[in-house]
Amino acid sequence: MADIHEFFICKLCKGYYRDPYTAKECLHTCMTLTPDPAIKELSEKYLPDYREAEETEEQEFYANFGIKRKQPDTLSENRPSALKFCRGLDPSSPRHMIQFELYPQRGPDVPLFLHLGELKAPCMNTQSFFKIMYLRKYLAKKLNILKPEEIEILCNGAVVGPEYSLEFIRRTRWKADSKMILEYRRQIIAS
């Protein structure tokens, strides 16, 4: 048991995994990315008393400070989410993930004033319903640009709108079986 104990402890905070998430790019377990049900199931199987002890400690903490706890929403726990129920989709499932690469627009005919810097990690893996407007916000943050609206995303040389999802672009603009490649540049402003 001591041999596998270290695999259920976070390298960053030294705590046990409660709801672990794994980043597919580097395989680091992170709390803000895709859910990792395999590690969660293993941690519950090999550390069964941990969850109960944690719940007991949490109740004692709230009781000591006189804080009223919210009652868990039992209806939502027993009922499947609207998205799963209506469409049969689980947004975190691997088949609803999309891989793509994101590079600055390149070519001899691209003016230098439209060129933006390169990302350190251009290969990405995210949910297929991720919208371009959020990709622009991500780029603005990574490239230190104040307004995300100043960035245009292109697929096959054509500008794509911020309201489109990656899945929509893959089906309508990319149409290839290979990994989708998107480009970005500074927005051309007509005067």
Predicted confidence (pLDDT) per residue in 108-144, tens digit: 777 777 778 888 888 888 888 889 999 999 999 999 8
Q: Check if the beta carbon of residue 162 is closer than 8 Å to that of residue 145.
A: no
Residue tagged 């070519």 (tokens): 107
CATH architecture of 2-65: 2-Layer Sandwich (3.30)
User: What average pLDDT does this structure show over 44-64?
Assistant: 80
**Span 177-187, average pLDDT:** 88
- Please give the C-alpha separations between residue 150 and each of 39, 70, 146, 179, in angstroms, as whole numbers: 40, 43, 8, 26
Other C-beta atoms closer than 10 Å to the C-beta of 152 total 20
Same fold, 2-65 and 94-186: no
Average pLDDT over residues 23-29: 49
Which pLDDT score, from 0 to 100, does residue 21 have? Answer: 58
Q: How many CB atoms lie within 10 A of CB 20?
A: 21
Q: Which two tokens stand for residue 44?
A: 């519950």
Domain residues of the chain, as ranges? 2-65, 94-186
pTM for this one?
0.51
100 burial (CB, 10 Å; 0-12 / 13-18 / 19+) is: buried
Instruction: Dihedral sign for Cα 137, 138, 139, 143, please.
Output: positive
The fold for domain 94-186 equals Ubiquitin-like (UB roll) (3.10.20)
